[in-house]
């Protein structure tokens, strides 16, 4: 296999030498993509960006969605130093919370998602469209601390999860502003051009979720959404004690799948999509 790979590299190099004279930019881009295909060990680190774009008590489930995903990616081996958590963080200590300083994603309340080891990187009114775009593209202010920077490179795999209220081609941020599908698509392309990722898994739970990645044109981005254009995204469990829904259906079944996965798992993305389409599996 190594001999074959070496021969392929020589062939690609010779072909690129011919192309280079005609179109230097296209040749450089093609070379990078081919090298990634030939190098199966070109992945060295994992990152997660988890974003709850809602605030206020009645959006409890969006906070729980995000904290549930945070707990799961940590269990799967991604450390806090490689997780960027963006959260309004106004639920745990809300005066309407009859279980102070806690957040649950199930009426049985078996797991306190808030716990002792939650590191929120962007809190409250720091959760903005501008800060999110700057985080992805690396265009942060010079004084920005390390925990608020996405320090990825061309060997990084990134999991991006977003939840909140949205519609066709937009997602609301804290009921005060919106990010649209073109904004995220352009940010992804900038990330690729600046060699800030190898592969991205983009998961979004909101109404008409799939429209938010319909404009993506950057390579190596796999996207999964909770609803198609014209469809709503629904909550799953309602807690009578707390008085609100505590998790969304799409996120619940994604988490159910992720909880069956560990670092030695042989599951594929096809298995994830299959489990989402058929929750009974």
Question: 198: which residues sit within 8 A by CB, 6+ positions away?
Answer: 36, 42, 43, 154, 155, 156, 157, 220
Question: Is 89 exposed, middle or buried, given 0-12, 13-18 or 19+ CB atoms closer than 10 A?
Answer: buried
116: number of CA atoms within 13 Å, CB side?
0
Nearest to 137 by CA among 184, 79, 178: 184
165 is catalytic: yes
98 is catalytic: no
121, two tokens? 């990187």
Catalytic residue, candidates 52, 62, 82, 207: 207
CA-based end-to-end distance of the chain:
37
Rounded to 5 degrees, φ, ψ at 197 are -160, 160
Question: 129: which residues sit within 8 A by CB, 6+ positions away?
Answer: 173, 177, 178, 179, 183
Would residue 115 be called left, alpha or beta, if left means φ above 0 and alpha means ψ between -120 and 50 degrees? left
Nearest to 188 by CA among 179, 176, 197: 197
Catalytic residue, candidates 52, 62, 82, 165: 165
Catalytic residues: 165, 207
């Amino acid at each position: 296999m190594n001999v074959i790979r070496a021969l392929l590299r020589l062939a690609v190099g010779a072909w690129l030498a011919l192309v280079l004279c005609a179109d230097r930019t296209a040749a450089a881009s093609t070379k990078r993509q081919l090298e990634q295909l030939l190098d199966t060990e070109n992945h060295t680190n994992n990152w997660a960006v988890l974003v709850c774009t809602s605030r206020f008590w009645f959006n409890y489930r969006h906070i729980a969605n995000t904290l549930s995903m945070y707990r799961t990616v940590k269990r799967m081996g991604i450390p806090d130093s490689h997780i960027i958590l963006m959260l309004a963080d106004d639920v745990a200590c809300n005066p309407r919370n009859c279980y102070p300083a806690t957040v649950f994603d199930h009426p049985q309340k078996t797991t306190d998602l808030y716990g002792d080891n939650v590191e929120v990187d962007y809190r409250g009114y720091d959760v903005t469209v501008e800060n999110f775009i700057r985080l992805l593209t690396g265009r942060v202010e010079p004084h920005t601390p390390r925990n608020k920077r996405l320090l990825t490179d061309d060997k990084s795999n990134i999991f991006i999860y977003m939840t909140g209220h949205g519609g066709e081609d937009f997602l609301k941020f804290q009921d005060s502003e919106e990010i649209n599908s073109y904004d995220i698509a352009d940010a992804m392309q900038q990330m690729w051009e600046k060699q800030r990722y190898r592969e991205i898994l983009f998961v979004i739970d909101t109404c008409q979720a799939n429209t938010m990645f319909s404009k993506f044109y950057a390579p190596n981005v796999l996207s999964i959404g909770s609803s198609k254009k014209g469809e709503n995204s629904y909550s799953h469990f309602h807690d009578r004690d707390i008085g609100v829904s505590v998790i969304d259906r799409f996120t619940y079944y994604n988490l159910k799948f992720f909880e069956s996965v560990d670092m030695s798992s042989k599951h594929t993305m096809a298995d994830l999509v299959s489990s989402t389409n058929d929750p009974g599996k």
